[in-house]
Structure formats: structure tokens, C-alpha cells
Structure 1
């Protein structure tokens, strides 16, 4: 695969080195991810001519925020251009993190994620909106977590589902009942805003050295309840007992987490419903039925 000539020239000027090879890794939500090879090493380039609005800039800011925390290995942002010039491309250029063909040390990941979650803020949210997959994620600050979870997480996905025809009358009515109960369902928990990766599934965790030290990529950063992050790690297969034991040793979760876990995952399942279609409707309905009362 090759890069457009104008983009190649831009990247080579930034790196000060010719690109020897371009390897396509993925394409999603209008953007393409390439691995670049130069005499200096390898780099990751995400680019698009018509990307989601300010998606590259939002991802770059999320990466820098996680890197500033100084806990986990995070790709270094070398350059970001967003929005795209009229005759060019939006792009995000980072160094390439790769520990080779080794397993991530899940105990270290558990410990370090708990340390990351210790980084707090005065409220829930973030200083800009970003994306969760290909859908907007709204992060305007709010003081109370249950209100934030309803107004910034569940309700926008619910409205998008309605626009796309995924919210028949019965599902809508049950979701309305559930939203009215969220404050009670999440009550009685001692919590604080925690710095979250925001999209923490297995594909966004990589080894960065031969010892399997963990690194994180593709964030959807915000300050939220750490239980929401742990819940998502369990949605698609889980990270394994070593990870959860290490996290709990480092910073135990409040009692009752298991009862709240599926409620938090409703956000991601609604997002998957909106992104990928009705195949996720059954899981959505199961959770709604459980919590709507």
C-alpha cells in the first residue's frame, strides 16, 4: 500500500527520513491506520481525507493526557493535523510501541490501571468531547456521577438509537424507566472522578517490551467512575483473573460492583447497537429488563 504523495511528503518532512515501507493495518470510521518503516524505526500513522470531525485531535489529546499521568506506556504524539486542509489530509503520527510476540503482563496491567485511576479531577467529564468508536462521546463536566452517566452517556446513545430506528416503543419505555432509576441504582457508593482510558478492551492493550510491560492505544479519555472502566474490560471475554486480582490488591473496588457492572456496560452495548446494528439488541434488552424495574 502507498500514501498519497502530499501526505508522504508531509510525514517525511516531520520525520526527516524517507519512508521505506507502508503497511496497512486497519480501516475504520473513515480513517486508515498504517505502520510506516524508515531507517529510524517504525511509526503509526492514522489518516483520512474526510475523517470524523476533530477525531485525530481528540485522540492526540487523550494520548497526551494518559502519557502525562506517567503510569502506563503510551504512544508519543509526534504530529497531528486536524481538521484536514482543503487540499490535504487529517492525520495523527505517533511512535510505534511493540514488544514483539510476547504476552502482556496482566498483573502489571492491573496494578498500573489502578494507579492511573487514582488520578482525579474536581468533576466528571473532560475538557473536550471525543469519540467512542465512530460515535461522539460527550464530556461536558458534571458534579454528580449518576447524572453524568445518564446525560452524557446513556441518553445520547438512546437518542442516536431512536434516530436509527433501533428504539421501538417498548424498548424506549423501558429505557425511560431505567434512566429514572439510575441515581438509586448507583447510590451508596464512595467514589471520585478517575482518569479513564475510556475504551479499554483487549485490542487496545499491547506489550511494549520483551517483558510484556503493558501499553495502551486508541483512548476515549475522560474522568469517570472507575467501575465503568472495569466493567467494560469484562464485556467481551474479560482480562483474566490475574488482572482483576492485581487491580483489587492495588485498589479494591467498592462492595456491590458486580451488581452495577452490567448497567455500566449498557452504554457500550448501545454504542455497538448504533455502530454495528441489531445484532446487539438482545444484550441491550437483557440489561434493560434487569434494571428497569
Structure 2
């Protein structure tokens, strides 16, 4: 479980070299452990996900993919470890991972979260927890030889199935321009006519007019929509499926409002611990633009209209 009171834990290590699914189960739960049941868990489009029941009475959450896509799990582990190590909010324990050559799969085994009813103060508590996560010291999550680099992550990872560049930068605006918007714009250029491409170039050039350097860097979940928050057996919020990196905390808040929005008590509670800036509504569009471009690149033209709406609003 996660620590309380803001005490930071070291990055945990989970074995990542199991040579088969069954080997992992037996080493983690004992030689007598056998799989007695498997139930599909729906909700994701990238991995095959199942609840695995064992003869020991334990239950685990298992993700599988092709061997070629093992990197999805390697980077997810790093993100989960980073979020868990802060100790401010529930994050599933990482049990192990590996490649099963016989089955032709890569796999990731996690603590199974048994969903429960939300506590009455669920959204208030979640707002406080996320604010404390964002306020935590996070320099150890940026891997760079330059001590002035404040934004980035320990490694590149994925946003959904798309690659996410986490090259460290001193400036948040430079990071967001070069590692977030620019790669997505290049990938989506076939969707845009020359006039729109000029507007995109203009937006990148004038990014300082719309964004500002944060007062401090924050460790972010990176893909914080409602589907990546679960209610655990304790009745509190738990974070899953991160695309973690160090950035501006308001980028996480913007993602919570891209597909609907969390209840108002969440944002009010968050603001009590970590005040949201007055110009957040303007920045929200720019932070959502990254995710909309990514969805355009992954899922097609249904996201085109929202991308154009933001571009036309500011250019």
C-alpha cells in the first residue's frame, strides 16, 4: 500500500525478467499457486487485461501484449513506481513482468483493485491527494546530466499507444513545444491544409504568449481522464495506467476536463492545497490540444474538429 503523511518512498523494484507467466505466479505466490480462473477486464484498447484467480485465494490483475510491445509495460512500470514512491495517493503494487516465449506474449502483473463504494468525501480526498502529489519534490524523476533540467522524465514512454518524448529541458515552455505539441503536429500534418499548418507554426512561435513557466515542477500522471482513476476497496481514488512525466500540474487538471469533468468539489478541494492559476482556463485549451492531436493521430478524423477549434481560437 502507499505511505501516508507525504513521506516519500524509494522507487520500488519489481522483477521484470520472468520467462513465463506460470513462473512469475509461482515465484510470487508460492510453488503451489495455480491459476483457477480468468475473467476479462474491459476498458482498454491496447492490452489484453484479465483478473486472475489463484488456488491460494489471491487475485491479481494481468496485462498481456505481443512480445514486440513489451516496452509498453516497461515504461508503465517506471511511471507506476514514480507515482507510488511519492506516497500521497493509491497506486497498484507492481508484482512482476516478463516475456512468455511459449505463449508469444509479454505480460505485467499488478495488485488487483477490488472496487468498492466511494467514501462520502471521495472527491474532496482525491482533490487533496492529487494536489499533494503535484507539490511533492520530484527532481529525482528527471534523468539528465544538466542539473538545471527540471522537466521531462526518467525515460520516454507512451501516451495511449503513441510515443511520448520526455527529453529533459530547463524550460517548461520549451519542453511543451518541442516534446509535446511539435511531435504530434508533425505526425498529424497530413490532416492539415497549408493555411492551418501556418497557424500551427504561429501558435508554436507564440507559445510564451499563452503559457507561462510554472512556479515549480510536478510529477504528473500524464493521462488523467476518468477511466484512469479507480475507487479501491478503501473507498478512495487510485491511479492506474500513467503516462508519467514532470511538468506543469495544470496539464493534469486539463486532462481531467477533456472528456467531461470531475465534480466541482474535486477542484475546490485541490485548490485548497495547491492553488489553480487565474489563467488556467486559457492554458487548459493548450494542454488539451496535445491529447486531441494524439487522439487524431491514433483514432482518426473524429477529433479533427476540436483540434481546429483550439487553433482558430488563438491564431
Give your verdict on TM over 0.5. yes
Aligned to 2:97: 80
Structure 1 gap ranges (5+): 1-5
- Tell me the distance in 1 between the aligned counterparts of 2:265 and 2:114: 22
Root-mean-square deviation over aligned CA pairs: 2.0
TM-score, with length taken from structure 1: 0.90
Structure 2 gap ranges (5+): 1-18, 140-148
- Tell me the distance in 2 between the aligned counterparts of 1:54 and 1:207: 27
CA contact (8 A) 1:196 1:223 kept: yes
Aligned to 1:278: 301
Q: CA deviation at 1:142?
A: 0.2
Q: CA deviation at 1:8?
A: 4.4
Matched, 1:115 2:115: no
Q: CA deviation at 1:51?
A: 4.6
1:24 is matched with which residue: 29, 36, 40? 40
CA contact (8 A) 2:69 2:106 kept: no
CA contact (8 A) 1:31 1:51 kept: no
Aligned to 1:41: 58
Q: CA deviation at 1:30?
A: 4.9
Aligned to 2:166: 139
Aligned to 1:9: 22
- Tell me the distance in 2 between the aligned counterparts of 1:225 and 1:282: 26
- Residues 98-131 of structure 1: per-residue CA shift (max 9 Å, x gap): 2324468111110000000012325000010000
Aligned to 2:106: 90
CA contact (8 A) 1:263 1:291 kept: no
Aligned to 2:142: none
Matched, 1:177 2:202: yes
Aligned to 2:13: none
TM-score, with length taken from structure 2: 0.84
- Residues 57-99 of structure 1: per-residue CA shift (max 9 Å, x gap): 00011111111100111111110226x7597421110111223
- Pick which of 227-236 and 22-31 moved more: 22-31
Structure 1 residues 150 and 96: alpha-carbon distance in aligned structure 2, compared to 1, 3 A threshold? same
CA contact (8 A) 1:32 1:47 kept: yes
CA contact (8 A) 1:29 1:51 kept: no
Aligned to 1:254: 277
